[in-house]
Amino acid sequence: MPFRDVVGHGRQLSLLARAVQRGSVPPTLLFAGPAGVGKWRVAQALAQGVNCQALVDGDACGTCRSCDRIARDLHVDVLTLAPDDAGTIKIDPVREVLSRTGYRPFEGQRRVVAIRDADALNEGAQNALLKSLEEPPPATMFVLASAAPDALLRTVRSRTMRLAFGRLTSDDVVRVLTRDHEFTRDAARRAALLADGSVSVALALGSADLTSSRAKAARLLAAAALHDVSARLAVAKDVIGKPELSRQELAAVLRVASSLTRDLAVVHAGADRGTLANGDAADTVDRLAAQLSAAAARKAFTTLDRGLSALERNAGTKLVAEWVAVEI
């Protein structure tokens, strides 16, 4: 997918297109930004751009043999690394990829080593990369994509040029969902409202049952009014349920809870209720507004955000639910 088909990130894309046009793309890049905003798509578009046989204003044509092979993941000079089933990138696949960078590109102009979720590289794998990041082999460039760039070793960070990606707008998320994921416009809007600018979150919410997620989210928020720790732990147990919620389902609950806290802020401020994300559950919002003050809602928002980060860092679901219920 060329840059022009990527949704959002206009500034980053025009920077990259100019660099492709001039042949001045830095050899080591770190795409840093939230999960599910399209960093990996941009990395692929960049790999196409630097290898395209019919470049148009710094952007890949999308149809030449090279663009086509990259899109289908068949191009021998575009090497990708991604976390294994255990969620890590170990040293062996890294060594294997590096051993292939010792030669000139076979079919393209520039070899691209693209690393998805680069924060999953274990320490040995990161150390194995250092020398290549410092002195990239001729005609080779590295693109690391990460939602948690600060989890990378300082030495890796200092050898890469960081390009920051922000969250998508709600309209952009709707565009991606309707264009690429067969969402109806209404379903896309609903998911986008809660997705916090991330397509992957929207997709997770789309598959989770919103009504049940919202009921659990409301129960979790109401725990803020409980003084007794054991009562709060009982709420966590109830939210996790049986069979236990998956990581994705719990993340959906926390995100819905987070959107409810934003709605509480709207209600407490007496602002236009038309902007409520959970406008279709106005009685739930009003009930919670009676239980949680504006300050309590703000504190809950911060706690939920920290709970979500812990989940993204692979903390256990039960532990996160308990921590949130106690701290909220």
The residues that touch Zn ion, with contacts defined as CB under 5 A, are 52, 60-61, 64, 67
Closer to Zn ion by Cβ: residue 67 or 118:
67
3-class state of residue 127 by DSSP: helix
Burial profile 62-81: b = 16 or more Cβ within 10 angstroms, e = fewer: bebebbebbbeeebebbbbb
Residue 13's H or E segment, with its range, is helix 10-22
Question: Contact, 160 vs 32, CB < 8 A?
Answer: no
* Nearest-approach distance from CB 45 to Zn ion, in angstroms: 11
What's the CA gap between 113 and 100, in Å, rounded? Answer: 10
Widest Cα–Cα separation across the chain? 67
Instruction: Give the angle 237-35-115 at the CA atoms, nearest 5°.
Output: 125
223 is written with which tokens? Answer: 């725990």
* Nearest-approach distance from CB 78 to Zn ion, in angstroms: 13
Q: Please, which residues have CB within 8 angstroms of residue 177's CB and are 6 or more apart in sequence?
A: 183, 187, 188, 191, 192, 199, 202, 203, 206
Closer to Zn ion by Cβ: residue 3 or 301:
3
* Nearest-approach distance from CB 293 to Zn ion, in angstroms: 57
Closer to Zn ion by Cβ: residue 64 or 153:
64
* Nearest-approach distance from CB 236 to Zn ion, in angstroms: 52
* Nearest-approach distance from CB 75 to Zn ion, in angstroms: 11
48 is written with which tokens? Answer: 């196409």
Closer to Zn ion by Cβ: residue 64 or 139:
64
* Nearest-approach distance from CB 44 to Zn ion, in angstroms: 12
Closer to Zn ion by Cβ: residue 60 or 205:
60
Closest CA to 114 of 126, 128, 97: 97
* Nearest-approach distance from CB 114 to Zn ion, in angstroms: 17
DSSP string, 204-220: HHHHS-HHHHHHHHHHH
Closer to Zn ion by Cβ: residue 69 or 116:
69
3-class state of residue 272 by DSSP: coil
Burial class (CB in 10 A: 0-12, 13-18, 19+), 234: middle
* Nearest-approach distance from CB 66 to Zn ion, in angstroms: 5
Closer to Zn ion by Cβ: residue 52 or 217:
52
Closer to Zn ion by Cβ: residue 61 or 222:
61
CA distances from 253 to 42, 173, 284, 299, 317 (A): 29, 19, 15, 17, 11
Closer to Zn ion by Cβ: residue 1 or 144:
1
CA distances from 24 to 15, 18, 159 (A): 11, 8, 17
* Nearest-approach distance from CB 54 to Zn ion, in angstroms: 5
Question: Contact, 53 vs 129, CB < 8 A?
Answer: no
